[in-house]
Structure 1
Amino acid sequence: MGKALRIALIAGEASGDILGAGLMQALKARHPDVSFLGVGGPLMQAEGLSSYFPLERLSVMGLVEVLGRLPELLVRRRRLINALIAARPDAVIGIDAPDFNLDLELCLRRAGLRTLHYVSPSVWAWRQKRVLKIRDACDMMLTLFPFEARFYDEHLVPVRFVGHPLADTIPLQADRHAARERLALRLDCPVVALLPGSRGGEVARLGALFLDSAERLLRARPDMRFVLPCANAARRAQIEQMLVGRDLPLTLLDGRSHDALAACDAVLIASGTATLEALLYKRPMVVAYRVAPMTYRILKRLVKSPYVSLPNLLAGRLLVPELIQDAATPEALAQTLLPLLDEPSRQTESFDAIHRTLRRDASGQAAEAVLSLVGER
């Protein structure tokens, strides 16, 4: 394609900024005469995005927080819709942030613009009727996982499975020895990584539970050591408070979760994206999660998926143990994790095949999908 292209991208949080920047790099490599507008963070702006307003104005988490910011969000979305209709870009790509982006994409598509959505919401697990809105809002859905693409195929939504960027960046074989040297961890003892989550609420519910489990693991294996990456200074302070009165051989890290995963022998981990990272590092894991009792009762009725963790969803079977809510006790977590230290292959034999399935040059695949859609004009 020889003509100049204008592509709009709208990211709502830091993870979307990373995906958007990678997609922009891939688009420029394939079509040098391309310009970008929309909403993005520093990484996307560094790639040439002209952002209508700071990404942080869309980055809101929690029901109460969203309600407090709702008037501003609605005004920003309406102004953004009007600006993009006036600009008439060749394609509009909403990156994640479905509550903001899907309504925006619906309005823009009705105005005659091509729209794509990059990163599927968990529509296959709950609120499945959203797929009808997605079908109206998007010319194409770009998914990170193959089971998502199968869901959209079944519901007649144009879809392309592009793979996951983490699978592209994490090596097929991580160097445990080098990671331990970077973290000043002993080479001659078992190391367990504790990943209780990155949000304050997650750490409040799982932090002490994981530390209690570590104490039981230590009684069974006195030579064991532990490493816990903290997402930020607030999470570190939260964990340090939980450690008062305990005597654990635990190394706290500021970030560096990938180093922790590369260095460890097994992982005690909260359900979430981190379970995918543990899988890609080929580390056996036990997944735990707790939410407020009322939230759990509601979700139990709404969620259609038999699994909560990404490794099991990708495998299509119970590959890694999931201890949820009342089942997540220190005794159960320790007893479930201990055998994995001696027989990691129970899980990890399947991890490599999943990694290779997801390793598809996600940014490049997404760029090809965008250009093919633009070429259909």
Structure 2
Amino acid sequence: MMVAGEASGDHHGAAVAAALRERFRDVDIFGIGGVRMREAGVRTLVDAAEMAVVGLVEVVAHFPTIYRAFSLLAGILKRQPPDLLILIDYPDFNLRLAKVAKKHGVKVLYFISPQVWAWRAGRVHTIGRRVDHMAVVFPFEVPFYQDAGVPVTFVGHPLLDSVRPTAGRSVLQREFSLDPARPTVGLFPGSRRSELRSLFPTILSTARLLRERHPELQFVLPLATSLTRADLEPHLTESGLAITIIPARSHDAMELCDAIVTVSGTVTLEIALMGVPMVIIYKVSPMTYEIGRRLIRVDHIGLCNIVAGERVVPELIQHEAEPARIAVEIEKILGDREYAAAMTEKLKGVRGMLGTGGCSRRVAQLAAEMLAPGVENT
């Protein structure tokens, strides 16, 4: 059983599934995932797109869907337990499922750790009771688990194997009918429908403001596999902007950009690996923000800044995430070459902090070591 509750986990889960299929004959992988995991041969009993929400208030609104998914998988763990449960990120859901698995004798491999280094550090002890092995993607996570006596392996970051465009910039510009002489700004609204509701209007208002000031700008927007064009249409129609939509090819979209406005999340690390200057925005419900502000122990929201240990790219959080402020930051990137070059150089340094490629193969190796004796290995 494999569980990935959002688009980034779906992508990483697909790579692990492919690595497992290379290692084992007739392996059956099922659980929660999205398009990419289905393409990798995973039987998705629940679509990850229905599970991807952010914020405490937002989770409450989606509770019936999440509860049904949990009940379905918990029932399988009890009645038809798999040989191994692989959990990918999505901690509030997955740690509860790990408790059920442990109760019924199912081994648990957890890939991509909850951010115990950022908030709720006490969870490391809960994880120790429910998880047999942690596969972590940041080297600074290892001591948290070693100090708590939890088996842990740094497997490198999966993005090192996957972040690359399908073609060079000039080829992509021709494919998407973009003018090479005009600056291109990326609009990255995230992979969750809840993010579209809370942040996409702000991103589009920023784009309108930038277009008014700089008519030469052109805009691209990657469409995550967890979303459809219909999810975007109401917002796009209202904006009246000409935006080039690029479905399921976010790295190609990044390759086209001179600057990017992006929501917080794994995408900031992908953009960093592509070396594109960006502005990170973050906004949730006021209640979620106030609770989080009191609990979170890190100095940055963006993963690229957290890994770098400094504010490499600007972050505009909650009330700061408004169009005029965002537009000023984008204008600075586009208008100050030295500023943009310095940001790009620091982003390149992030890559060296993430280990080496081959993450999914290392996770598959850990899975093989944990599987019950007698499972046939090719």
TM-score w.r.t. length of structure 2: 0.82
Residue identity in the other structure for 2:138: F
1:366 matched to 2:357:
no
1:46 and 1:263 map into 2 onto residues whose CA distance is 26
1:355 and 1:71 map into 2 onto residues whose CA distance is 38
Deviation at 1:324, TM superposition (A): 0.8
1:63 matched to 2:56:
no
Helix, strand or coil: the match of 1:188? coil
How has the CA–CA distance of structure 1 residues 74 and 113 changed in structure 2, closer, same or farther, with 3 Å as cutoff? closer
Helix, strand or coil: the match of 1:131? helix
Equivalent residue, structure 1, for 2:282: 289
1:35 matched to 2:31:
no
1:71 and 1:291 map into 2 onto residues whose CA distance is 22
Helix, strand or coil: the match of 1:135? helix
How has the CA–CA distance of structure 1 residues 188 and 289 changed in structure 2, closer, same or farther, with 3 Å as cutoff? same
Helix, strand or coil: the match of 2:27? strand
Equivalent residue, structure 1, for 2:324: 331
Helix, strand or coil: the match of 1:36? coil
- 1:239 aligns with one of 235, 240, 243: 235
Q: Deviations along 1:323-354, whole A, 9 cap, x unmatched?
A: 11122232321222223222322222132332
Contact 1:12/1:55, CA 8 A, preserved across alignment:
no
1:289 and 1:229 map into 2 onto residues whose CA distance is 18
Structural mapping, 1:116-195, within 5 Å? 116-171=109-164, 175-195=168-188
2:346 and 2:372 map into 1 onto residues whose CA distance is 39
Larger RCO: Structure 1 or Structure 2 (Cα < 8 Å, ≥ 6 residues apart)?
A: 2
Residue segments in structure 2 that go unaligned for 5+ positions in a row: none
2:247 and 2:367 map into 1 onto residues whose CA distance is 37
1:171 and 1:155 map into 2 onto residues whose CA distance is 36
Deviation at 1:33, TM superposition (A): 4.4
Deviation at 1:145, TM superposition (A): 2.8
Deviation at 1:284, TM superposition (A): 0.3
* TM-align CA RMSD: 3.2
Equivalent residue, structure 2, for 1:314: 307
Q: Judge which range, 185-194 or 326-335, deviates more.
A: 326-335
Contact 2:113/2:136, CA 8 A, preserved across alignment:
yes
1:138 and 1:194 map into 2 onto residues whose CA distance is 38
Deviation at 1:109, TM superposition (A): 3.3
Instruction: Count how many residue pairs are aligned between Structure 1 and Structure 2.
Output: 361
How has the CA–CA distance of structure 1 residues 160 and 174 changed in structure 2, closer, same or farther, with 3 Å as cutoff? farther
Helix, strand or coil: the match of 2:262? strand
1:224 matched to 2:217:
yes
Equivalent residue, structure 2, for 1:347: 343
Helix, strand or coil: the match of 1:226? strand
2:222 and 2:294 map into 1 onto residues whose CA distance is 33
Helix, strand or coil: the match of 1:55? strand
2:102 and 2:356 map into 1 onto residues whose CA distance is 31
- 1:81 aligns with one of 46, 67, 77: 77
Structural mapping, 1:228-307, within 5 Å? 228-230=221-223, 231-244=227-240, 248=241, 250-307=243-300
1:241 and 1:12 map into 2 onto residues whose CA distance is 29
Q: Judge which range, 173-182 or 267-276, deviates more.
A: 173-182
TM-score w.r.t. length of structure 1: 0.82
Deviation at 1:224, TM superposition (A): 2.2
Contact 2:187/2:262, CA 8 A, preserved across alignment:
yes
How has the CA–CA distance of structure 1 residues 262 and 298 changed in structure 2, closer, same or farther, with 3 Å as cutoff? same
1:172 and 1:46 map into 2 onto residues whose CA distance is 20
Contact 1:11/1:95, CA 8 A, preserved across alignment:
yes
Deviation at 1:263, TM superposition (A): 0.5
2:282 and 2:5 map into 1 onto residues whose CA distance is 26
1:375 and 1:352 map into 2 onto residues whose CA distance is 41
Residue segments in structure 1 that go unaligned for 5+ positions in a row: 1-7
Residue identity in the other structure for 1:177: S
Contact 2:17/2:29, CA 8 A, preserved across alignment:
no
Deviation at 1:319, TM superposition (A): 0.9
Q: Deviations along 1:90-141, whole A, 9 cap, x unmatched?
A: x332233433432332343355443211222233322322221111111111
Residue identity in the other structure for 1:368: Q
Residue identity in the other structure for 1:267: I
Identity %: 34
How has the CA–CA distance of structure 1 residues 16 and 326 changed in structure 2, closer, same or farther, with 3 Å as cutoff? closer
1:71 and 1:270 map into 2 onto residues whose CA distance is 27
